Amino acid sequence: MSDDKKPVLSAETEDIGLRAVWTKVIVPKIIGPLVRRLLKLLDSVIVRDTIKFFGWIASILIIAGLCWTLTQPVRNRFLIRAVNRVFEQYGDFRRVAELSFPEKGSSLIGSWHTVIKARQPGIPSNDDLPEGTKAFIFSFVAEGTFFPCAAIIDPMGKVQEFIPLNGHGKKILARISPGILKLYTRRIEGAE
């Protein structure tokens, strides 16, 4: 044979060469030590305890989210009962009830309710309440404190009045500037 003739590499011989490099160089010398180090790291007590800790936190958050979601109707009924008690104490003829259409029952900042007339003896009823009047129950933030408040919204979507739902809120609402009331009014009318 002459020296100027070199063997021609076919696709099969190239594939065998790459496979040999992969099995003889890359896997044992690069990937193997990395996998062994990763397994040693996962076997350490600190990593296992950290994974358990984050697992506990995730499970607590999942359980809290489920409880919050599943108890929403019960909390909504308690809220309606408390707001109606306040209206009775004020001598107001209005009462709140659950919405007849559920798509806007609650939001992140409050909850929507339908306003109805009182049907109890001894409480004066007023026929001036238009059909479709709604109430938005939310926490009003003023002077560094929170207090529960109800905004009565007419069928046209305009806020008629703010009703504080406790004595402290009544005092604070009388001192709040009209600019802050307009800000809340715009937010509520925009959300409606």
Q: For residue 102, is pLDDT > 50?
A: yes
pTM greater than 0.85 (yes/no)? no
CA distance 188 to 192: 6
Q: Delimit the domains of the chain by residue range.
A: 11-70, 92-191
> For residue range 141-172, what is the model confidence (pLDDT) as tens digits?
887 888 889 999 888 889 998 998 888 888 88
Q: What is the pLDDT of residue 38?
A: 75
- 95 DSSP assignment: E
- 107 DSSP assignment: -
- Predicted confidence band of residue 70 (pLDDT cuts 50, 70, 90): very high
Q: What is the pLDDT of residue 13?
A: 47
- Predicted confidence band of residue 53 (pLDDT cuts 50, 70, 90): very high
Averaged pLDDT for residues 91-114: 73
Q: What is the pLDDT of residue 9?
A: 45
Which string of DSSP letters, residue by residue, matches 110-178? EEEEEEEE--STTSPP-TT--TT-EEEEEEEEETTEEEEEEEEE-TTS-EEEEEESSHHHHHHHHHS-H
Sign, CA dihedral 4-5-10-15, equals: negative
